[in-house]
Structure 1
């Protein structure tokens, strides 16, 4: 709908929108607008339906506002999808929605723009915030965080097994020189990492962990999943694309709990009817085709899962 969108390939575009749009006159939420790839296809599928988009990134919001000017069925909000409940009340009058889409992770424009501080391949200020105007940057946090906290963040959110070694190296370095750039941090991490994974930059896990922590990505995800499920009308769907195991574990566990109920001892005389199950999962997890992975290597770890509300 606009010619100014930068190069960005939406992952599993058709598969996700096919799963999402079941009512062409319905109400929908795109929790992660990005550059609007999924949004535009949803709008193409809708007739009288409306779509509300969310993003933290001010650059994404600019693209969203341009689309909002072009298509009155679409509105954009600069906020986390974790806060969608209040915005749904504002924009849709509190009506339940027909679908919620979440395409998690960092978008290609964010990764490729060195100034945003997400990349360990191109030098730039060590920021990593989805919204650079809010909260503490990665550089600010690293400057004062205790060594144990830095190690815990890299281990818990980046699954970096050498997190304690790397955290020690970071603290030793910052004692004499501020760590303010991405390549500066990447070099410290690489030199402290004794066993590089084949085919993977040694800073990958450390950067992932710090980024997730700085943006509260997993906390927002847990709150957002619950908010999305509560916003759905009967027949409405929650469609989520995750890109790493930590995200997918949360999504998979959440959808299993919603569709099957909590794990109970086998000897308890409780049937599904007693659990008041209101959701079901749709099909199995979907992964990108070989062709898509070949065309867009960043899609290789993506997993798409779908949850549908079946009763009030």
Structure 2
């Protein structure tokens, strides 16, 4: 199979890469190991649409989406403190790390935030992709031969490509590269970059609203070690209430056994929500939740090396740059 552009991934960055390829009349194919598309904002299955993790948008970004014909609902932001303390340190898992962007602090410092549970679907429609099927083919990557420009998939498909747009995590890039001489060079660059991150465990619930607060996002914060959760975010859509509850973890401080039950218990203790009333519940691991600051000069050298081999890094976790 001959393909001009192979896009590795199925989230927002992959969607944009496919759109750009289409604009230039390039034959493009996206592949990802996951069945559903949308990345972190993939819709959960079921009758009521809800994204598995929060993606809040500020007013400037909402204006950009409006220019694409996408209307998003904007909310006033209310902060409710469950327990005061060093909230910033708790969001980074109580480790010494200098993150590029702490999204929780950014959201707390906003007077208004915008949100749309079906944002990815609307982006697909705006870019003129079918909304009834994923943007990608489901397959894992077995091998990328950068000299022969051949990509082998777990399905047995062999693709002869012109360019690869890589949107998966940067640290995973070398594992499928061939020959080893190229792979070793990429690994040396990654060692120099010293990539570090804070992971997030998100508990998402959808419940019926008893007292809907249509124009309000409430952000609850707990800043001590007495509780595992550090942030719970509640918003209402029509007669439904969406709650995103977050706890951070790292390689140094992994998730404790029974974390699901612990989160549910803490939410009941603080009288934020009751899981018994939930119409839908979901647990999501966001491995690359908060990214550390790295040496931009080394990263640019790596990007140039990869581009010389027709591999383009694109997106937040591939370029290791926080993007709005």
**TM-score where L is the length of structure 2:** 0.28
**TM-score where L is the length of structure 1:** 0.29
Q: Which has the higher strand share?
A: 2
